[in-house]
Amino acid sequence: MSRKSNVFKKKSITGKKSVLEKSSAPGRKEQLVESLKLPKDMLLGASILTMTGNHELWVENYKGIIEYTTESIILQAKTGQIAICGCGLVIDYYTNEDMKIIGNIQCIRYL
């Protein structure tokens, strides 16, 4: 059995040189989590976002607060950043593991 850490596919673009594109095949860690039927959020550090309507948002497994205004809250997650946009946004409470954001939430983006 061959051992591959990153799998790349060759993708050709018309009239241009071919480029290498990373395959979307799951990594070793993801395969292990799937095979053992373990919770992904705990082992991979994935953030969990739970919304109630567009007025409450619970965020679990975040690392820190990057930006905090009444129109935008940007959080650092393990795999990137999470931007919450809206009006009258307030962090109702937060701990090292989770937080509750209230206000008129208009969009959530992963950066």
The pLDDT of residue 33 is 57
The pLDDT of residue 61 is 86
Query: Quick one: which of 91, 96, 85, 101 has its CA closest to 63?
Result: 96
12 Cβ neighbours under 8 A, 6+ residues apart:
18
Catalogue all structural domains in the chain, each as residue range(s) with its CATH number.
8-42 (no CATH), 45-110 (2.60.40.2000)
Average per-residue pLDDT for the chain: 75
The pLDDT of residue 24 is 46
Q: Per the confidence metrics, is the pTM higher than 0.75?
A: no
* Burial class, 87, CB count within 10 angstroms (exposed 0-12 / middle 13-18 / buried 19+): exposed
Within the chain, what is the greatest distance between any pair of CA atoms?
56
pLDDT digits (tens, 9 = 90+) for 22-46: 444 556 666 665 666 555 555 556 7
